Amino acid sequence: MVLMNKLCAGASGWPRDPTLCGAHDPLIPLDAPAKLMNGPTRPPITRPLPFLAPDLEHLADEDHAPAIEAGMAEQLAEVETILRDPQAPNFENTIVALERSGRRLTRARNIFFNLTASATNDHLQQVKAELMPRLVAHEDAITLNEDLFLRVRAVHEARHDTGLDAVQERLVERYYDRFVRAGALLEPTGKKQLMALNAEEARLRSQFEDNVLKERTAVAVLVDDRAALLGLEEDAVAAAAEAARLRGHEGKWLIDLINTTRQPILAFLQDRTLRKRIHLASINRNRSGTNDDRPIIARLAQLRAQKAALLGFPTWAAYVTDDQMAGTPEAAVTLLAGLVPKAKGKAMMEADKLRAIAGELPGDKELRAWDWAYYSEQVRKAEYDLEEAAVKPYLELENVLVKGVLFAAEQLYGLAFKERFDMPIYHPDVRVFEIFDLDGSALGLFYGDFYARDNKSGGAWMSSFVDQSFLLEQQPVITLNCNYVKPAPGQPCLLGSDDVITLFHEFGHALHGMLSAQVYPLFSGTATSTDFVEFPSQLNEGFATDPEVLANYARHYLTGEAMPAALVNKMKRARAFDQGYATSEYLAAALLDIEWHSLTADDPLVTDVDAFEQAALAKYGSDHELIPPRYRSTYFSHIWSGGYAANYYAYLWSEVLDADGCSWFAEHGGATRENGLHFRSTVLSQGGSKDGHQLYLDFAGREARPEHLLKRRGLI
């Protein structure tokens, strides 16, 4: 999967949105509550765990709410101390003091939201539903505090006259902007209205996310007849049998769904009836029964429009993009809509090839959406003499991770990784690595959680337990989640080529967190604009096919034999394959996001979500029955619960930077240590200390050129 599903970018509100990962706030107090450090049921350890990592094995479900409540109370007391300071507001006693505040809350919140994303249960989901409105109200109590804002505004007005350096001035400006964007300039009545809307949004977002998680399990497709699985490799069949057994269906096979509309398993299933069942289960998610999300998203779109109007913006899309590289929703739409005809034209040529190779189809005889992946795989075999089944034995997870992802990080940035088996973890599948820097010094920790579970959010994402900050004397503790199908016991986890790209992508985000070198927590790691934050992760995808890196990890899981050169060449030739489809499904979802968030406060509540979606797609020529959007509205977690509202365009915006950045590496000698350290110093270490445009100029020394993206996607 080329496009990342989840990352908490926190680019448009303060304190940052905790609903996904809580990954970017000022973090952990050195005297954190014992249950969050040492565990409640065993003798206390004699020192904190390395890098202040949490003792996840001994943290009880009942510990989270009290810890978060204590953290909120403590932060409000810290804010009160700032307000009582008799000295005139200045950078240290106001801005830095705010940066230091809330460490206990952030620690508790980071742990809690990481667990509800990766290993939740009914109790934690209920706690989250209860806490979300309270956390939002807590944030409002800070950002809408008039006396506190007066102090921030005073520092902002004097910022050019008090000897601040460039980063400190930017910190002051970001604080002022975030308070204003949170409603600090509103009159009391407006603030009260905004607080009510914020509380309702928090409740609905939590409910939406809960529904999506439950629905993925509820609509998993159960197969009674082994013959229906013809075309699947034995490892996939065994994994489906194990999934069925674990849910009480011994002797059957269970096909779990992934987040996206298109299900990768359709590329291999010969049974057209089963393909149709899986596709319809995917595309109709959360549109009926107790998990129906349509009323939720209709109200979310409306209340966001109402919030935008209160804050002085015509739409939520205008509010969001005002704080991004794009600047306006029109700029985002220009990029997206401008590619629709090119992508659609290429997709229709791809469809003609599918029809030609399919011949006469059984049943209704028309090529359907559930046929695309299957016949696309046949075209790949015919045109490129390449089939995914031939590639997968060379892409075993352990090799890809250690000899690919981690090896590339060593080659480029001088990092080393040592697996630790003494660290507390929240699930047996989780792995922990200590990170060492160029000079051998310990840099932080990396947690990898790679397999899908019923109690885990879908997709793939990076987060953190602890963010780097020199001010707070913290080193990074980074997490990475994927949802690969766990193999049956004794079997290898063989990845598809898209799975490999996903792992490199998410590790690019992880590197952004690991290599942060910032004083202030507000600028740590991935705390950039959302339409820049995907640049490092997408750039890291390119190293998956670097010749030296690929040769190191692409080895047969049984023999250790390197992937044959002929197969490597076929893979490279096929990189632009099916890009008309892939680009079209992405553009449809991104434009759908913009349309939902272009509603105004005067527009009536959308009563027919399906009709709205269809009209939005038709508006841009993206309504093609063969190519549904990458996410339909009812399970589009990015925009309704994941912090990407009116921001899903960011992947393509960042890919313009990425494609040009890859060309910069090629022009300067490739994936060398020198180039890696340059990228580290100009981008990965800088976090949000500069705006995205300046960060790219510092790295490349030029503006990004969009033609590289068009060539990569085979659109020119």
Amino acid at 178: R
- Tokens 């005297």 correspond to 31
Catalytic residues: 506
Closest-CA residue to 333 (of 677, 592, 52): 592
User: Sheet containing 461-466: which strands, arranged edge to edge?
Assistant: 6-7, 461-466, 477-484, 442-451, 431-436, 416-420
CA distance 270 to 600: 47
CB neighbour class for 401 (10 Å; exposed up to 12, middle 13-18, buried from 19): buried
Torsion angle, alpha carbons of 468, 117, 296, 286, to 10: 140
Tell me the three state secondary structure of residue 632: coil
Determine the straight-line distance between the first and last CA of the chain, rounded to whole angstroms: 23
The pair of three-digit structure tokens given for residue 284, joined into one six-digit string: 């109709």
**Secondary structure letter of residue 7 according to DSSP:** E
Distances 454 to 120, 139, 221, 451, 502 between C-alpha atoms, Å: 9, 31, 14, 10, 20
Pairing of strands 6-7, 221-223: unpaired
Alpha helices in 322-406 (DSSP H): 329-358, 372-384, 388-391, 397-398
- Tokens 């409000």 correspond to 76
Torsion angle, alpha carbons of 159, 161, 167, 172, to 10: -10
- Tokens 């309504």 correspond to 623
CA angle at residue 593 from 589 to 594, to 5 degrees?
Answer: 120
Tell me the three state secondary structure of residue 418: strand
CB neighbour class for 426 (10 Å; exposed up to 12, middle 13-18, buried from 19): middle
